[in-house]
């Protein structure tokens, strides 16, 4: 299948930029560009990231999406994807967050890996990731979809920076050798009621395996994970919808809690 012409990819990036600015959504890309491929979608995402850097935004890491069966079932998409994280997308636990900054706002439970060393693909393994990791810390991802949700494919989602809106970072880092990361569990509360729960092994049987997948995928695009990057490894619960005035709390037991409130 031939890639879309560069001017078409630029026009899609323009359209998504307007949707992000105006906090609106656009119709499915795949319905309007039926020949659009995963490579096309990552080209759109790279253009979005390039524009962010040109505007002075500072890249700090990557997110991985759709790594667990619960997330794949929730979206109808059966393969992982990735997106970019800028510094202005990272909130500390306890933050009050403007709900209207995002579209189709949902939140999910993850672990974030802070890398002390680069991770190169192809051929990156779970053990490579663990050796390269400085610490792991609980995190919440705020999903924001600038493309219509109904009928999305992996191509739509990737073009939309893998539906990344922002993240809330916990304050209980732990060395990867000090905890069995497969068995990290969390309860996700909205307004005092448990809405979801999960165990990190739902992410490809080990959350570090998601980071290895990302390193190998980036290698296909001539890129790699660098020292200092923060990597959201993928959700191990289904996303929950959040609205203005909602308070969210994730309880990771020994790894502490994360809270945020939407206004």
229-251 confidence digits (pLDDT tens): 999 999 999 999 999 999 999 99
Measured between alpha carbons, how far is 25 from 44 in angstroms, rounded to an integer? 16
Give how far Cα 86 sits from Cα of 176, 206, 231, 248, Å: 24, 25, 12, 22
Please report the sign of the dihedral spanned by the C-alpha atoms of residue 91, residue 93, residue 97, residue 102. positive
The per-residue pLDDT for 140 is: 98
Are 230 and 112 in contact by the 8 Å Cβ rule? The answer is yes
Taking 80 as the threshold, does the pLDDT of residue 79 lie above it? Answer: no
Q: Is the pTM of this model over 0.85?
A: yes
Q: How many residues in total does the chain contain?
A: 263
DSSP 8-state secondary structure symbol assigned to residue 197: E
Mean pLDDT on 209-225: 91
Looking at 64-68, 72-76, 112-116, 172-176, which range is the least confident one?
72-76
Are 167 and 53 in contact by the 8 Å Cβ rule? The answer is no
6-262 maps to CATH 3.90.850.10:
yes
Taking 70 as the threshold, does the pLDDT of residue 19 lie above it? Answer: yes
- In tens, the pLDDT along 91-121 reads 999 999 999 999 999 999 999 999 999 999 9
Measured between alpha carbons, how far is 38 from 153 in angstroms, rounded to an integer? 10
Confidence of residue 76 (pLDDT cuts 50, 70, 90): low
Q: Using omega within 30 degrees of 0 as the cis cutoff, is the peptide bond preceding 219 cis?
A: no
Are 235 and 73 in contact by the 8 Å Cβ rule? The answer is no
Mean pLDDT on 23-46: 91
CB neighbour class for 34 (10 Å; exposed up to 12, middle 13-18, buried from 19): exposed
Are 202 and 236 in contact by the 8 Å Cβ rule? The answer is yes
Measured between alpha carbons, how far is 216 from 219 in angstroms, rounded to an integer? 5
Nearest to 200 by CA among 191, 212, 209: 209
Give how far Cα 93 sits from Cα of 97, 140, 198, 250, 261, Å: 11, 9, 20, 10, 10
Radius of gyration of the chain (CA): 17
């Amino acid at each position: 299948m031939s890639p879309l012409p560069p001017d078409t990819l630029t026009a899609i990036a323009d359209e998504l930029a307007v949707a992000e600015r105006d906090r609106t959504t656009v119709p499915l890309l795949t319905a309007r560009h039926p020949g659009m491929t995963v490579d096309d979608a990552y080209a759109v995402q790279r253009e979005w990231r390039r524009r962010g850097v040109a505007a002075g935004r500072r890249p700090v890491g990557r997110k991985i999406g759709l790594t667990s069966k619960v997330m794949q079932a929730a979206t109808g998409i059966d393969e992982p994807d990735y997106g970019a994280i800028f510094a202005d997308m990272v909130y500390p636990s306890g933050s009050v967050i403007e709900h209207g900054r995002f579209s189709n706002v949902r939140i999910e439970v993850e672990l974030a890996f802070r890398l002390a060393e680069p991770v190169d693909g192809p051929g990156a393994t779970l053990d490579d990731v663990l050796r390269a990791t400085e610490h792991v810390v609980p995190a919440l991802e705020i999903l924001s979809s600038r493309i219509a949700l109904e009928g999305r494919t992996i191509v739509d989602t990737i073009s939309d920076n893998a539906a990344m809106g922002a993240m809330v970072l916990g304050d209980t880092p732990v060395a990867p050798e000090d905890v069995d990361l497969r068995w990290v569990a969390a309860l996700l509360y909205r307004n005092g009621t448990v809405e979801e729960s999960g165990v990190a092994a739902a992410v490809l049987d080990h959350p570090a395996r998601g980071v290895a997948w990302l390193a190998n995928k980036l290698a296909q695009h001539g890129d790699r994970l660098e020292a200092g990057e923060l990597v959201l490894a993928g959700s191990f619960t289904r996303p929950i919808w959040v609205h203005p005035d909602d308070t969210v709390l994730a309880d990771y037991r020994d790894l502490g809690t994360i809270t945020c409130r939407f206004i």
